[in-house]
Chains A and B, each alone.
Chain A
Amino acid sequence: MAYVLKINGKQHVIDADGDTPLLWVLRDVLQMTGTKFGCGMALCGACTVHLDGAATRSCITTIDSVGDAAITTIEAIGETEAGRKVQQAWLDLDVVQCGYCQSGQIMSASALLMSNAHPTDSDINDAMSGNVCRCGTYNRIRDAIKLAATGAKP
């Protein structure tokens, strides 16, 4: 059967099995490749998107489980205030290296700031420890989240 997904404010009709992970619908069917595949088991966070503003691992989220939830991806997160601030902070502190995990990092960080305008180190650990970065950009990620939250470099 077909599924209707609301992605970045636009409706898409997807003709695929209901147990298809959202990640592959985004990447392969809709050719929105900003969301990344890393592990397939919700262990690395590279595939993080928002479902109604909550950080969600799209690699284990089947399309039949999404329902009416609004899906937001890295391609549109800059249209939200939190997303825009996070992306700017990422640029100001030159966070990225290879960049592959950074879509997921930015989605998790944006979701954190949407629900918690002034996260503590412990809040940052809780929200971000599901996102792996093999380049080791973690210290700049922490600083950039604080910069996005406060406007001041830590």
Chain B
Amino acid sequence: MMPATADREDSAALSRRTFLKASVTAAGGFALAFAVPSRSGAAGPPQANTLNGFVRIDPDGRVHLTIPMVEMGQGIYTSHAMLLAEELEVKLETIVLEHAPPNDALYANPILHEQSTGLSASIRGFWLPLRQAGAAARMMLVDAAAQRWKVDPAKCTVKDGVIFDPSAKRSLAYRDVVQAAAQLKPPAIDQIKLKPPGKFTLIGTAPKRLEAADKVRGRTQFGIDVIVPGMKVAAIAISPVGGGKPKQVNQAAALAVRGVRQVVVIDEAVAVVADHTGAAKKGLEAAAIQWDNGPNAVVNSASIVAQLKAGSETSGAVARNEGNVEQAFAAAAQRFDTVYELPFLAHAAMEPMNCTVHVRKDACEIWVGTQVPTVTQTRVAALTGLPKDAVILHNQYLGGGFGRRLEPDGTLLAVKIAKHVDGPVKVIWSREEDIQHDIYRPYYYDRISAGVDASGKPVAWHHRVCGSSVVARFAPPLFKNGLDFDAVEGAAEPPYALPNILVDYVRVEPASITTGFWRGVGPVHNVFIIESFIDELAFAAKQDPVAYRRGLLAHNPRALVVLNLAAEKAGWGQPMPAGKARGVSLQFAFGSYLSAVAEVAVDAKGKVNVERVVCAVDCGLPINPGMIDAQVQSGIIFGLTAALRGAITIKDGRVEQSNFDSYPPMRIDEVPRIETHIVPSTENPGGLGEAATAIIAPAVTNAIFTASGRRIRKLPIEEV
């Protein structure tokens, strides 16, 4: 199911072909049209990459679906294809998937206003537009058939890409009417007829991943697998201290290695270009680079934490202020004040950072798996001075993203190197470079306080979030009045009844460490803090943690349902052996409600073993229960890995961790059993790519407290 590239097809075939264009505009409007593409005037991009829209039907009947968001393991190629195929009435297994080229006008996510795959917004953003695109295409095809038969299109029926006349005696396949349909006017947005949910035949079922057959045979092309004729490969070393520069490079020694072709020295890095990566790495080692570390060589984790601690003692930008918090604290029967800390984290996707670039005089061609194709294209245009349409980006399957590939830095670095190379070059980062030059999840130093009444209920609440702002760097116009909306997501709107609540945000930027989005973004840090703190309040009130939460959820029925479901399925309240306990957590994030119960064993030495996790999910109408379970498993394991032992630390300006030995992932011998329970719902779908990453840490730390009395207010759980 390789995305087709038109440079493999002859122009005659292209001129015969008819395309259906359907698009979501950046403003969230909807446009749809048939068009016959023309190669004339197409600057650079091969034809298939200049297509607009989601649906294309070849004269031979093949249905191509262009998926606006990228596939990085979350299953969106399958789920988005289901939305289109449901309304288009074609068999899922017959369609051809295509990567979307960079084009915000066509493929921007209506929630994010750009073509970015992130914030668990792919289903939420495209739930309606993709069904509309599929339905509009179907209506035009049916209209074309009805005109040929001279019958009422409303009385025609469609099944699996075949249109039947009202008598059901005559039929036409889509391919037979696609040329005629191309001449019709697309239906107006309010004329598009969507199926009622009761008629869904695909949505709500669990078809398997469309790209799985290639993946199990090693045939899927990830960015790192791209091969371009005449291509060289490059290994790179980036200054180990941010802002440092290469001081001495033994180019002669590097060039003496067989297979090495060139040494490229740029401001912040050295690249060795060779015939194969083995030679490039050997050459890089031979180059024995010495660095001028610059002023950031004095930065340490301790100095950063001190900086954050000082920041947390000042008041911040107000995210929410309701009731009268000051009065409520004064009137409270008891007050609790705590500090919670969460570390820097690396993404460590399995596919190390890489990018293939061919810089030519009049164009820059790029092959990369990226979550942000249009942002990358714009940034490369600025870097090279080329017009945007001369930056040709071929997106690829991503070997994991987790937010790392929301950043164009790897591509920009590759372009800087490729400018010095005659011909295409594939730049591959080592695992060490990948971990030591990540854009890290911020370190958070949060203060949270509550005043409770005589019954132990919180009547006053103050949460101060303190950390670097990803939004201020990533999307400056969205950073308003000192407030990072993402940093407080999950903190500003906890699921509980909190009559007097103040949430503020203090921005502190640590020197030399760039921070970015990490799977679970704002909620992954705030949910840990709120759910831990709520547990602290429950224990202080001598109440059962589930019962205590129920008491604060009378206004929030969907949250109550997932909490009760998780508790019931986990056997909450049933006795556990000594040294074992259950812990619970609850959240509303990314439009979905989750509750988890973790069963944890703590041995005499304090070693933690998470044995079982039960997760209840209300993500609105479940589109593909198989993908939902996979994302719950995936998110829990990703979040649990970080909670147990994930930490990036800085010494003398350098990241101390470097590979899977010092930044250890969870392995098969330590994963818990994970059970997913989906709440049936007809609400609009919520996001789920990141939700389970946020839910797990507090369920585990709350269980550790019950099992051992140890309250964890600083992650990771294990000593670093």
The chain A residues found within 8 Å of chain B, CB to CB, are: 16-17, 19-21, 23-25, 27-29, 31, 33-41, 43-44, 46, 73-75, 78, 87, 90-91, 94-103, 106, 124-125, 128-142
Q: Judging by beta carbons under 8 Å apart, are B400 and A31 in contact?
A: no
Contact pick for A87, options B72, B217, B259, B637, CB 8 Å: B217
B282 within 8 A of A: yes
Contacts A43-B660, A94-B208, A132-B667 given; indicate if A99 touches B399 (C-beta within 8 A): yes
B220 within 8 A of A: yes
Q: Judging by beta carbons under 8 Å apart, are B278 and A106 in contact?
A: no
A106 to chain B, nearest CB (A): 6
Q: Judging by beta carbons under 8 Å apart, are B220 and A29 in contact?
A: no
Q: Judging by beta carbons under 8 Å apart, are B350 and A44 in contact?
A: yes
Q: Judging by beta carbons under 8 Å apart, are B660 and A132 in contact?
A: yes
Chain A residue contacts of B479, Cβ below 8 A: none
**How long is the Cα–Cα vector from A34 to B399 in the complex, in angstroms?**
13
Contact pick for A33, options B225, B630, B665, CB 8 Å: B225
**How long is the Cα–Cα vector from A19 to B504 in the complex, in angstroms?**
57
Chain A residue contacts of B335, Cβ below 8 A: none
Near A by CB (< 8 A), chain B positions 335-372 give: 348-352
Pick 8 A–B contacts, CB within 8 A, sort by A.
Answer: A17-B257, A24-B279, A35-B218, A38-B351, A44-B350, A44-B660, A99-B397, A133-B668
Closest 9 A-B residue pairs measured CB to CB?
A34-B218, A136-B637, A100-B399, A98-B73, A99-B215, A74-B218, A97-B73, A28-B276, A24-B278
Q: Judging by beta carbons under 8 Å apart, are B212 and A17 in contact?
A: no
Near A by CB (< 8 A), chain B positions 611-664 give: 626, 630, 633-638, 659-661
Chain A residue contacts of B282, Cβ below 8 A: 17, 19-20
Near A by CB (< 8 A), chain B positions 379-429 give: 397-402, 428
Q: How many residues of B contact A (CB 8 A)?
A: 65
B521 within 8 A of A: no
Q: Judging by beta carbons under 8 Å apart, are A132 and B350 in contact?
A: yes
B430 to chain A, nearest CB (A): 6
Contact pick for B216, options A33, A106, A138, CB 8 Å: A106
Chain A residue contacts of B212, Cβ below 8 A: 90-91, 94-96, 99
A103 to chain B, nearest CB (A): 4
B369 to chain A, nearest CB (A): 9
Q: Judging by beta carbons under 8 Å apart, are B661 and A41 in contact?
A: yes
Chain B residue contacts of A39, Cβ below 8 A: 431, 659-660
Q: Which of B7-15, B145-153, B491-499, B669-677 binds A? A: B669-677
Q: Judging by beta carbons under 8 Å apart, are A36 and B351 in contact?
A: yes
Q: Interface 1/0s, chain B 149-163, versus A by CB < 8 A? A: 000000000000000
B282 to chain A, nearest CB (A): 7
Chain A residue contacts of B402, Cβ below 8 A: 134
Q: Judging by beta carbons under 8 Å apart, are B638 and A134 in contact?
A: yes
Q: Judging by beta carbons under 8 Å apart, are A136 and B636 in contact?
A: yes
B221 within 8 A of A: yes
Q: Judging by beta carbons under 8 Å apart, are A38 and B637 in contact?
A: no
Q: Judging by beta carbons under 8 Å apart, are A139 and B671 in contact?
A: yes
Contacts A43-B659, A99-B399, A142-B668 given; indicate if A133 touches B350 (C-beta within 8 A): yes
Known A98-B71, A98-B351, A138-B667; 7 more pairs at CB < 8 Å: A24-B279, A28-B277, A29-B275, A46-B350, A75-B218, A136-B638, A137-B633
Q: Interface 1/0s, chain B 454-479, versus A by CB < 8 A? A: 00000000000000000000000000
**How long is the Cα–Cα vector from A44 to B663 in the complex, in angstroms?**
12
- With both beta carbons as reference points, the residue of chain A lying nearest to B207 in the complex is identified as A94
**How long is the Cα–Cα vector from A87 to B635 in the complex, in angstroms?**
24
**How long is the Cα–Cα vector from A139 to B667 in the complex, in angstroms?**
10
Chain B residue contacts of A16, Cβ below 8 A: 258-259, 276, 278-279
Contact pick for A25, options B213, B220, B278, CB 8 Å: B278
**How long is the Cα–Cα vector from A92 to B261 in the complex, in angstroms?**
46
Chain A residue contacts of B637, Cβ below 8 A: 136, 138
Chain B residue contacts of A142, Cβ below 8 A: 668
**How long is the Cα–Cα vector from A66 to B20 in the complex, in angstroms?**
53
Chain B residue contacts of A106, Cβ below 8 A: 216
- With both beta carbons as reference points, the residue of chain A lying nearest to B349 in the complex is identified as A134
Chain B residue contacts of A129, Cβ below 8 A: 667-669
Chain A residue contacts of B213, Cβ below 8 A: 91
Q: Judging by beta carbons under 8 Å apart, are B400 and A135 in contact?
A: yes
